[in-house]
Amino acid sequence: MKGPAWRRRGLLAASLGNLLFLYLPIAVLIVYSFNAAKLAMTWQGFSLQWYAALARDHALMVACQNSVLIALVSTSVATLLGVSAAIGLERLPWRLRAWLDGALLLPLVIPEIMMGVALLLLFVLIKVPLGLLTVTIGHAAFNLPVVMVIVRARLRKLDPQLEEAARDLGATPWQAFRRVTLPLLRPAIVGAALLAFTVSLDDFVVTFFTAGPGSTTLPLKVYSMIKTGISPEINALSAMLVVASMCLVGLSLAVQRQRKIYSLIH
Amino acid sequence: MNQPGIELREVVKRHGSTVAVDHLSFSVRRGEFFSILGPSGSGKTTTLRLIAGFEHPDQGDILIDGRSVRDVPPNLRPVNMVFQHYALFPHLTVSGNVAFGLEMRGIARAEILSRVSAALDMVRLAGKDDRLPAQLSGGEQQRVALARALVNRPAVLLLDEPLGALDQQLRQEMQVELKTIQEQVGLTFICVTHHQEEALTMSDRVAVMDHGRVLQVGAPQDIYTAPASLFVAEFIGLSNRLDGRIAAVEGTRCRIEVPGLPIVQADVPAGAGPGRAVSVVLRPERLHVSKQAAPNGFDNVVPARVAKAVYNGHEMQYQLRIDERLLWTVRVPNADGGQKRFLPGDTVSVRWNADESVVLAQ
């Protein structure tokens, strides 16, 4: 924090500028969701009418349900598979592990649109009708590596002797896992699941390619509403989505940070 | 009491192409404090892990209380281990850690509580039972690890470098404490260490290991005063060494020719005859330093020049230059308060009797 005053002031200005750049559009969006005006971007007084209108919009409520359902199921699947894969991989011989690592983490760097197209082609090829199931599978697919990366990072920091200590004290391999490894992984698993849930809730591209009739999600719905003109209703909806996502990501970070207590003694 | 608590029979363990443990055999008596001493890579930790069951011997057998444990998984062996870095469960409290083994064995809640508190009393941690390991000092963590193992009343307690992570002061305190606890509970302790002072202080018997083999097993005094090989002599304690050749044997005495020095008289090593290349090992505290050049009744006298004199409070430590190659360390207790001191540059003579050296085959 030392240094000439002009430098400190410059840094402060740059940071504020960054924050404005990132959050101003969101702030505007949220503020205008409370605007009483029908169309104009002029402020005509505070109102909750657009939020009320959201609740009355049946199609929107269905999209909302779809989104939550898909996020819940795909997150569960991705978490279950991701955690098992992470633990399994740690126990593989080095060479095999390096190879599988690459294969399993590839989806993280593949452009999402390619993933969407690829999934669509696959589903058409094996004749699975597009719908809730295909969207859920698509989301689980891109969330699997996310969960795996987070859990493995934690797993690698665990002292391998902890499991040996448990075994030495009379625990079977399963007991050692349940009583020692799993509780120590829990913050990472919960954090990963929350992040996966958020990503699933917000996803547009993969959903766009894999959705069919009746499986419209919230992001898809917002997009289709925008095509017919920006209504303040969308502002309200987006504001809710943004706030929900931010809460989930914040929660995910908070849960993952808990591990600091655990790693103190190492 | 004389039935072995643990016996290793011709145990072999390979890691890839290297042999970590090479036809290892030794036995540990019940109630004994047994140390395995060796440099890093000597296979001592592997030996401990074989006994604990974390590794499986490629050949040979391990018996605990007369029963083979070859096919017994670690959780069913009557041994418990104190890990080098303790491996305390970070998410469990002190009492949660200590209770773990008892819970795994399905012992009744009331008994667990009383045994845990007795164990914590023994290691002087009463009142810290609901702390997390991260909230404890290194010494306290060490004692939790000890209590966590002892509370199960194992047939054998294994300790892997138990004091390695502690600072010097604490280390010396814990050496005494460990030994006291061991005598109190009467359990068999097997302790792995590379720290020779630790092994000598705590153990009833010490096994010196190198390259996966046991070089010597014996009481600390025997290992120190009668090392079986040059490696043992140089690994344990400080030693000064002279390399030479036996010139003549007269009864129990022999005369050894050392290049550049007067003939050295020493006790004959077992089975050695004239012509044999040997090393004479001299402990720093067995040498006598004087300004007089005459033997004065000593068997051997070697002139030297004081290179360095270090005052250690209870003793003086001198570095003596014998010739270009030889620099000896000699310790002289300050029984007179350090009055009779030699200064760097002084010419002195180093004297010792034949029975104060150990002669070992090279």
Q: Three-state DSSP class for B12?
A: strand
Whole-angstrom distance, CA of residue A216 vs CA of residue A67: 8
Closest CA to B98 of B76, B72, B131, B75: B131
Angle at A240 between CA A235 and CA A241, to 5 degrees: 95
* Cβ-based neighbour number of residue A88 at 10 Å: 11
Binary contact (A168, B148; C-beta < 8 A): no
In A, minimum Cα distance to B149 occurs at A169
* Cβ-based neighbour number of residue B293 at 10 Å: 12
CB nearest to B80's CB, from A168, A180, A264: A168
Neighboring chain B residues of A189 at a CB cutoff of 8 Å: none
Give the closest-approach CA distance of A87 to chain B in angstroms: 19
In B, minimum Cα distance to A261 occurs at B134
Neighboring chain A residues of B90 at a CB cutoff of 8 Å: 162, 184, 261-266
In B, minimum Cα distance to A163 occurs at B87
Q: Which two structure tokens, joined as six digits, stand for A197?
A: 């849930």
First and final C-alpha spacing in chain B: 39
| pLDDT the model gives residue A263 | 41
* DSSP codes of every residue in B48-106: HHHHHTSS--SEEEEEETTEE-TT--GGGSSEEEEBTTB---TTS-HHHHHHHHHHHTT
Determine whether A139 is exposed, middle or buried from the number of CB atoms within 10 Å of its CB (0-12, 13-18, 19+): buried
Closest CA to B182 of B162, B165, B166: B162
- For residue A266, pLDDT beyond 60: no
CA of A64: how far to CAs of A140, A166, A219, B271, in Å? 18, 45, 9, 93
| DSSP H helices in chain A | 5-32, 49-56, 58-90, 94-109, 112-125, 132-157, 160-168, 173-176, 182-202, 205-210, 218-227, 232-257, 259-263
CA of A79: how far to CAs of A91, A133, A143, A147, A172, in Å? 19, 17, 8, 6, 24
Binary contact (B74, A264; C-beta < 8 A): no
| pLDDT the model gives residue B339 | 64
What is the tens place of the pLDDT at every residue in A15-43?
Answer: 999 999 988 988 888 888 888 887 657 78
CB nearest to A167's CB, from B75, B105, B152: B75
CB nearest to B91's CB, from A168, A172, A184: A184
CB nearest to B90's CB, from A167, A168, A262: A262
What is the tens place of the pLDDT at every residue in A45-73?
Answer: 888 888 888 888 888 889 989 999 999 99
Q: Which residue has the tokens 């009142």?
A: B127
Whole-angstrom distance, CA of residue B162 vs CA of residue B175: 9
CA of A218: how far to CAs of A63, A120, A225, in Å? 5, 20, 10
Give the closest-approach CA distance of A248 to chain B in angstroms: 25
Give the closest-approach CA distance of A174 to chain B in angstroms: 12
CB nearest to B87's CB, from A165, A170, A183: A165
Whole-angstrom distance, CA of residue A16 vs CA of residue A151: 34
What is the tens place of the pLDDT at every residue in A85-94?
Answer: 999 888 888 8
CA of A54: how far to CAs of A30, A57, A178, A238, in Å? 15, 5, 45, 11
The answer to whether A137 and A210 are in contact (CB under 8 A) is yes
DSSP B336: T
| pLDDT the model gives residue A265 | 37
Strands B33-37 and B205-210: parallel
Q: Three-state DSSP class for B237?
A: coil
In A, minimum Cα distance to B53 occurs at A168
- For residue A261, pLDDT beyond 80: no
Residue of higher predicted confidence among B197 and A78? A78
CB nearest to B87's CB, from A162, A170, A264: A162
Give the closest-approach CA distance of B122 to chain A in angstroms: 19
The answer to whether B35 and B202 are in contact (CB under 8 A) is yes
Q: Is B75 on the interface with A (CB under 8 A)?
A: yes
Whole-angstrom distance, CA of residue A64 vs CA of residue B332: 88
| pLDDT the model gives residue A231 | 75
| pLDDT the model gives residue B148 | 95
Whole-angstrom distance, CA of residue A15 vs CA of residue A28: 19
Q: Average the pLDDT over A167-185 and give the result.
A: 94
Q: Which two structure tokens, joined as six digits, stand for B121?
A: 């009393």
Q: Three-state DSSP class for B279?
A: strand
The answer to whether B218 and B229 are in contact (CB under 8 A) is no
Q: Is B4 on the interface with A (CB under 8 A)?
A: no
| pLDDT the model gives residue A2 | 56
Binary contact (A169, B90; C-beta < 8 A): no
Neighboring chain A residues of B88 at a CB cutoff of 8 Å: 165, 265
Give the closest-approach CA distance of B290 to chain A in angstroms: 53
Neighboring chain A residues of B141 at a CB cutoff of 8 Å: 265
Whole-angstrom distance, CA of residue B262 vs CA of residue B273: 20
Binary contact (A159, B91; C-beta < 8 A): no
Give the closest-approach CA distance of A163 to chain B in angstroms: 9
| pLDDT the model gives residue B338 | 59
* DSSP codes of every residue in B115-133: HHHHHHHHTT-TT-TT--G
| pLDDT the model gives residue B333 | 86
pLDDT bracket for residue A238 (50, 70, 90): confident
Whole-angstrom distance, CA of residue B267 vs CA of residue B256: 10
Binary contact (A263, B105; C-beta < 8 A): no
Taken in order of first residue, the domains within chain A and their CATH numbers are 48-264 (1.10.3720.10)
Q: What are residue B359's phi and psi, to 5 degrees? A: -105, 125
Binary contact (A265, B90; C-beta < 8 A): yes
**Mean pLDDT taken over chain A:** 87
Residues of chain A in Cβ contact (below 8 Å) with chain B = 159, 161-162, 164-172, 175, 179-180, 183-184, 261-266
Q: Average the pLDDT over A99-114 and give the result.
A: 86
The answer to whether A233 and A225 are in contact (CB under 8 A) is yes
Binary contact (B87, A161; C-beta < 8 A): yes
Neighboring chain A residues of B133 at a CB cutoff of 8 Å: 265
Taken in order of first residue, the domains within chain B and their CATH numbers are 4-234 (3.40.50.300), 238-361 (2.40.50.100)
Whole-angstrom distance, CA of residue B327 vs CA of residue B240: 8
In B, minimum Cα distance to A181 occurs at B89
CB nearest to A171's CB, from B54, B80, B104: B104
CB nearest to B81's CB, from A159, A168, A263: A168
Q: Which residue has the tokens 């440099």?
A: B39
User: Which segments of chain B have a pLDDT < 70?
Assistant: 1-3, 337-340
Closest CA to A163 of A153, A150, A178: A178
Whole-angstrom distance, CA of residue A83 vs CA of residue B1: 50
Whole-angstrom distance, CA of residue B354 vs CA of residue A175: 62
Q: Which two structure tokens, joined as six digits, stand for A100?
A: 């599988």
| pLDDT the model gives residue A28 | 86
Q: What is the CA radius of gyration of chain A?
A: 23
In A, minimum Cα distance to B137 occurs at A265
**Mutant choice from A163, A164, A169 vs B, greatest count of B C-beta within 10 A:** A169
Whole-angstrom distance, CA of residue B292 vs CA of residue B344: 16
The answer to whether B206 and B189 are in contact (CB under 8 A) is no
What is the tens place of the pLDDT at every residue in B42-98?
Answer: 999 999 999 999 999 999 999 999 899 999 999 999 999 999 999 999 999 999 999
The answer to whether A187 and A258 are in contact (CB under 8 A) is yes
